Amino acid sequence: MLTQRAKYGLRAMAILASRRAPGSTMSIPELADDGHLPSKFLEAILLDLKRHGFLVSRRGKAGGYALARPAEHIAVGDLIRALDGPLAPIPCASLTAYRPCADCADPAECDIRRLMRQVRDATAAILDGTSLARFAATAAPSPPAAMVVERR
């Protein structure tokens, strides 16, 4: 299940991909206002996305955040993995963070694992096949400010 952190991160990345010229920056307050996002939470998310190589930042009056590479070269699946971790619904179905279940006698024969691998594979196919550019072009407008609980 997608966390609020990943939702906010995707919304901020879509704003950066669609509302600015390549290489131009947006400040945290601008992103928070445009996306109706809580700025303190957004700041932590953006720092994490920067650490994963999706964003660059500039200091100063004209500073802010910008995409580190073209939106066409950023997969939505990679953003979600950076913010939420593996896409698999259970650890034994993960390709990148596999952990066997304590109560499973034989993972190779487990029907639950087999089904959850199908879920993981279908999810990954959609998310990895969707670029940030395509997502930003089709994303719905941000919710009205009244729907946001905190906007500091």
The values of phi and psi at residue 21, to 5°, are -70, 150
d(CA 27, CA 136): 19
13 and 63 share a domain?
yes
At residue 45, does pLDDT exceed 70? Answer: yes
6 lies in the same domain as 69: yes
Residue 70 confidence (pLDDT) above 70: yes
pLDDT tops 80 at residue 119: yes
Token pair 């930003």: residue: 136
b/e sequence 63-87, b meaning 16+ C-beta within 10 Å: ebbbbeeebeebbbbbbbbbbeebb
* Alpha carbon distance 19, 54 (integer Å): 17
pLDDT at 143: 55
For 81-94, what is each residue's pLDDT tens digit? 999 999 999 999 99
- Please list, in sequence order, all residues whose beta carbon lies within 8 angstroms of the beta carbon of residue 53, skipping any fewer than 6 positions away: 68
69 and 3 belong to one structural domain: yes
Residues 21 and 38 occupy one common structural domain: yes
* pLDDT of amino acid 152: 42
- The yes-or-no verdict on residue 120 having pLDDT over 90 is yes
Range of the domain at 6: 1-74+132-147
